[in-house]
Amino acid sequence: MPWVSLLFMSTRPNLPSDKLLDPDTNIEIIVAAAKKVPRFAAANSLDEAVEAFVRFIAMPPNQTSEVIRRQQIARQLLRS
């Protein structure tokens, strides 16, 4: 099953779900949302940026554990 941007399905109800399968569309949506979050733009570290992303852009229900999990992923990607 292809990955769909579930993150923005409810915030972009007029966007067809097939557009959410397009990586460029997903990137465009995320970048536009990130530009509206001053704390994300002002982040001085990868950890700060990930925390701002989770808390103010993605906003999952379990934010504290998601911050930790996504920071670990970001650090692994940075090393590779």
DSSP 1-66: -----GGGTTT-TTS-TTGGG-HHHHHHHHHHHHHT-HHHHT--SHHHHHHHHIIIII--SSHHHH
List, for residues 28-71, the tens digit of each pLDDT value: 888 888 999 999 999 999 999 999 999 998 888 899 999 999 99
Cα–Cα distance for residue pair 52/34, rounded to 1 Å: 9
User: What does pTM read for this prediction?
Assistant: 0.74
Q: How confident is the model at residue 14 (pLDDT cuts 50, 70, 90)?
A: low
The C-alpha angle with vertex 15 and arms to 42 and 4, in degrees rounded to 5, equals: 75
pLDDT of residue 57: 87
